[in-house]
């Protein structure tokens, strides 16, 4: 089921059009894929429940994302880098994700992801899904093991918003031709800035602050909205 909290003709008339090039940017964990990669890494490190608890609070906007990520990554210290192979083979694309990407490509759209997760897994997912753009965090490793630190700047809500704008500028398209999809509090700025912002199976606080939500349908629900076949409550 697709739900729109305040349906109106004006908002539908201003939707991005599939008849011109456009850009979709989405989150990765619990959006492009079903799982939260850092939670999977936590299970491997024997601290799964502890990390999952912090993840849930961060996605609800209860914790500063940078500090929450650093705290969780510190718990991964000592894991062999081969763990990324194991986690990659355990995660699954969300139902409808690959079909959505292929369908948008057929309409001359591009698709990107901005992830608070890690390049070590996201790079492979991007290749599998034929994504056009992607950004994620990178974990530091030494002697084949994680050090418990993140390399470089941490991907935040601001990074997600900046990426949406930068990729749209690179394509030479107006922001009105962009779509942003995510489930967590750190996705809200890009969701609110895009021509069409969608909360996908999102946390309650995100649903409350987003006009259009997908709570039951798969990711092809995004295409249904773009093509105008949308059930409104």
Active site residues: 27, 29
Q: How far apart are CA 7 and CA 16, in angstroms?
A: 16
Asked if residues 31 and 182 have their Cβ atoms less than 8 Å apart, the reply is: yes
Residue 217 DSSP one-character state: S
Q: Which of 86, 71, 93 is nearest to 26 (CA)?
A: 93
Asked if residues 69 and 137 have their Cβ atoms less than 8 Å apart, the reply is: yes
Place of tokens 């922001």: 175
Distances (CA, A) of 205 to 38, 61, 195, 213: 22, 8, 21, 12
| Residues sharing a CB contact under 8 Å with residue 68, sequence separation 6 or more, in sequence order | 54, 55, 57, 58
Q: How far apart are CA 39 and CA 28, in angstroms?
A: 13
Place of tokens 């492979």: 124
Q: How far apart are CA 25 and CA 100, in angstroms?
A: 12
Q: What is the sign of the dihedral through the CA atoms of 146, 65, 24 and 208?
A: positive
Q: Where are the beta strands (DSSP E) in the chain?
A: 2-4, 23-26, 110-118, 133-142, 145-151, 178-182, 196-200, 212-214
């Amino acid at each position: 089921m697709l739900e729109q909290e305040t349906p109106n003709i004006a908002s539908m008339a201003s939707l991005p059009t599939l008849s011109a090039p456009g850009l979709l940017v989405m989150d990765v964990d619990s959006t492009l894929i079903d799982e939260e990669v850092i939670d999977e890494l936590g299970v491997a490190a024997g601290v799964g429940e502890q990390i999952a608890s912090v993840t849930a609070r961060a996605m609800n906007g209860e914790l500063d994302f940078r500090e929450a990520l650093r705290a969780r990554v510190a718990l991964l210290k000592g894991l062999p880098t081969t763990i990324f192979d194991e986690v990659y083979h355990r995660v699954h694309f969300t139902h409808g994700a690959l079909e959505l990407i292929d369908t948008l490509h057929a309409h001359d759209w591009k698709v990107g992801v901005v992830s608070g997760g890690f390049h070590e897994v996201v790079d492979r997912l991007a290749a599998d899904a034929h994504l056009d753009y992607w950004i994620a965090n990178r974990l530091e490793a030494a002697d084949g093991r994680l050090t418990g630190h993140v390399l470089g700047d941490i991907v935040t809500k601001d990074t997600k918003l900046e990426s949406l704008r930068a990729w749209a500028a690179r394509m030479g398209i107006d922001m009105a031709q962009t779509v942003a999809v995510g489930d967590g509090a750190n996705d809200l700025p890009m969701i609110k800035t895009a021509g069409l912002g969608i909360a996908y199976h999102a946390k309650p606080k995100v649903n409350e602050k987003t006009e259009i939500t997908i709570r039951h349908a798969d990711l092809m629900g995004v295409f249904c909205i773009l093509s105008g076949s949308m059930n409104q409550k």
